[in-house]
């Protein structure tokens, strides 16, 4: 088989500033060993997130120039509405400035104290918006989804038996909506099968509970269904995506992922009464319903991005990139969460650096190691982000998994960049015994990972 090439060519470039190991040593120390505190210019390959970091196409940029910036009834809204409607068939489509704004509007209305909102796994902002409104966010992913070595093809699936029991136990009047995150980001970018989505819809229907998708990475999920689920091999990803949306009553969407834009999102649904309430909140907090939190040009870019993301040559290259990273990591023996997901590789830090105790944050040690060795920015998703202290004893409670996420921006880096990343990981892995843990010198009471400062444990 021939090399799977990037199915695009480059018309505009952005220079990468190179740094030496000595320079990086000073930079990371000055940043208090927190990669969020480094100037992006001092990063060689930035794999902090795949969100809002896509390269837009020539046609998207052309659309930006054609944006209609009328306050009400802009042509760009019609274009955006038609594209989202053709894909999802949802009647009401409400533009927001990003995914969490859609979540905030939805949960301002649906979530209150005493309510429960189940999902396969809620993403952090979804959970935060639910909890901010005093409701409870509950994760019901299948057991295989929690095992970093399980090769289940759809590790993002929700446990349908647990879901039904949950509905029975809590009562439909206390469950305003059920969510399903496709792909399941917090579980490693793992897909949800069509069978599972259909099954979730059946259970929800039986209890009269609406099903909403967190659809950020719907196209990557569709491609996995085509590759892995019987009966879908000859369907187009667009057909698969349309079938996925046909089972849902609505969705929240961060267009910063699978709509290939740098900012944007939407909230969509069929329920007229709910849509009316959402639009009222939208007008107060985001903007008039035909632009929401966005400019007309952003709506044009989303409309076009939703077509481009379903190009199967693109999706093939996209998923193959992550798979290729996994194969090469297997060869060098470096442990990561398997199978590789849709948008990122997650190194398994406890297995990678077993000599570092969890209260010294092995994920952070690896993330700092990757920056030192090659200027790569990754993200610790482990104790620093999710660790807690027992409110009574103060004892440290680590999360189940200590991961380092390398998330891949869409259409930004080429194969040689990825080969470089692999070389850097290999170097860090070979010298893993020299990695050292970290301890906090400063931590904020909330979302401490963004601003924390550290020193090296000796
Ligand atoms: N849902 C999922 C599954 C996400 O991954 C994200 C963002 C959001 C909702 C929120 O969307 O950022 O547009 O407000 N994920 C980013 C990430 C931040 O790095 O994984 P947003």
Beta pairing, strands 136-139 & 265-269: unpaired
Question: How far is the C-alpha of 195 from the C-alpha of 198, rounded, in Å?
Answer: 5
Asked if the peptide bond before residue 183 counts as cis, ω within 30 degrees of 0, the response is yes
Per-residue model confidence (pLDDT) at position 255:
98
d(CA 425, CA 448): 26
DSSP label at 173? G
Three-state DSSP at 137 gives strand
Distance CA(425)–CA(349), nearest Å, equals: 12
pLDDT block averages, 10 residues each, the chain of length 458? 92 97 98 97 98 98 97 97 98 97 98 97 93 96 93 97 98 98 93 98 98 98 98 98 98 98 98 98 96 96 98 97 97 96 96 97 98 98 91 91 96 97 98 97 89 95
pLDDT value at position 321? 97
Q: Whose CA is nearest to atom 9 of ligand 1?
A: 99
* DSSP bridge partners of 139: 119
Which residue owns the Cα nearest ligand 1 atom 15? 51
96 close to ligand 1 (CB < 6 Angstrom): no
- Within a 10 A sphere around the Cβ of 385, how many other Cβ atoms? 21
pLDDT of residue 332: 97
Expressed in angstroms and rounded, the spacing between residue 361 Cα and the centre of ligand 1 is 24
Q: Please state, in angstroms and rounded to a whole number, the distance separating the CA atoms of residues 316 and 333.
A: 25
For a mutational test of ligand 1's pocket, the pick from 99, 215, 342, 378, i.e. the residue with the most ligand atoms closer than 8 A to its C-beta, is 99
Alpha carbon of 306 to those of 82, 212, 258, 299: distances in Å?
A: 11, 19, 7, 11
What was the pLDDT predicted at 407? 98
- The DSSP string of 213-232 is EE-TTHHHHHHHHHHHSTT-
The secondary structure of residue 57, as a DSSP letter, is P
pLDDT at residue 30, rounded to an integer: 97
- Residue 446 confidence (pLDDT): 78
- Does ligand 1 have an atom closer than 6 angstroms to the CB of 156? no
DSSP, residue by residue, 92-110: EEEEESSHHHHHHHHHHHH
Q: Measured at the alpha carbon of residue 214, what is the angle toward residues 78 and 271, in degrees to the nearest 5?
A: 60
CB atoms under 10 Å from CB of 234, counted, come to 7
Identify the residue whose C-alpha is closest to ligand 1 atom 1: 123
pLDDT at residue 416, rounded to an integer? 96
Q: Is residue 304 lining ligand 1, measured as CB closer than 6 Å?
A: no
The answer to whether the CB of 343 falls within 8 A of the CB of 190 is no
In order of their start, the domains of the chain are 21-50+311-456 (3.90.1150.10), 58-308 (3.40.640.10)
Long-range contacts of 203-209 (CB under 8 A, 24+ apart): 203/160, 203/163, 203/164, 203/167, 204/178, 206/164, 207/164, 207/167, 207/172, 207/175, 208/172, 209/167, 209/172, 209/175, 209/176, 209/177, 209/178
Q: Is the CB of 98 under 6 A from ligand 1?
A: yes
Closest-CA residue, ligand 1 atom 8, reads: 99
Q: Do the Cβ atoms of 271 and 284 come closer than 8 Å?
A: no
What span, in angstroms and rounded, lies between the C-alpha atoms of 136 and 166? Answer: 13
pLDDT, position 186:
87
Tell me how far the alpha carbon of residue 307 lies from the centroid of ligand 1, in angstroms: 20
């Amino acid at each position: 088989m021939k090399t799977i090439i990037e199915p695009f060519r480059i018309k505009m470039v952005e220079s990468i500033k190179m740094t030496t190991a000595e320079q990086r040593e000073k930079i990371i120390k000055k940043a208090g060993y927190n990669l969020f505190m480094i100037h992006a210019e001092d990063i060689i390959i930035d794999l902090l997130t795949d969100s809002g970091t896509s390269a837009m196409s020539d046609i998207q940029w052309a659309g930006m120039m054609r944006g209609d910036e009328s306050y009400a009834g802009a042509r760009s809204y019609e274009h955006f509405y038609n594209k989202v409607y053709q894909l999802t068939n949802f009647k009401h489509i409400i533009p927001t400035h990003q995914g969490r704004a859609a979540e905030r509007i939805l949960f301002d209305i649906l979530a209150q104290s005493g309510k429960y909102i189940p999902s396969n796994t809620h993403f952090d902002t979804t959970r935060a918006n639910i909890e901010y409104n005093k409701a409870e966010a509950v994760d019901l992913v299948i057991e295989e989804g929690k095992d970093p070595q399980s090769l289940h093809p759809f590790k993002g699936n929700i446990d349908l038996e647990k879901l039904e029991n949950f509905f029975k136990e809590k009562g439909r009047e206390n469950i305003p909506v059920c969510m399903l995150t496709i792909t399941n980001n917090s579980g490693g970018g793992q897909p949800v099968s069509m069978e599972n989505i259909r099954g979730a819809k059946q259970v929800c229907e039986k209890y009269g509970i609406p099903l909403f998708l967190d659809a950020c990475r719907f196209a990557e999920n569709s491609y996995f269904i085509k590759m892995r689920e019987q009966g879908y091999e000859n369907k187009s990803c667009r057909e698969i995506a349309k079938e996925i949306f046909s089972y849902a009553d609505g969705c929240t969407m961060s267009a910063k992922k699978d709509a290939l834009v740098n900012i944007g999102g939407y909230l969509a649904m069929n329920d007229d009464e709910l849509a009316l309430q959402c639009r009222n909140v939208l007008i107060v907090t985001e903007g008039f319903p035909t632009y929401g939190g966005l400019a007309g040009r952003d709506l044009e870019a989303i409309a076009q991005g939703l077509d481009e993301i379903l190009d199967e040559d693109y999706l093939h290259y996209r998923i193959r990139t992550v798979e290729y990273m996994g194969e090469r990591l297997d060869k060098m023996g470096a442990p990561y969460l398997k199978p590789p997901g849709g948008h990122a590789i997650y190194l398994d830090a406890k297995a990678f650096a077993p000599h570092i105790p969890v209260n010294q944050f092995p994920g952070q040690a690896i993330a700092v190691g990757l920056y030192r060795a090659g200027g790569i920015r990754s993200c610790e998703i482990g104790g620093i982000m999710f660790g807690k202290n027992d409110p009574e004893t103060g004892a440290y409670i680590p999360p189940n998994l200590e991961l380092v996420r390398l998330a891949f921006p869409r259409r930004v880096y080429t194969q040689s960049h990825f080969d470089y990343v692999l070389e850097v990981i290999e170097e860090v892995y070979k010298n893993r015994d020299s990695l050292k843990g970290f301890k906090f010198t400063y931590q904020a009471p909330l979302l401490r990972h963004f601003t924390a400062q550290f020193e090296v444990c000796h």
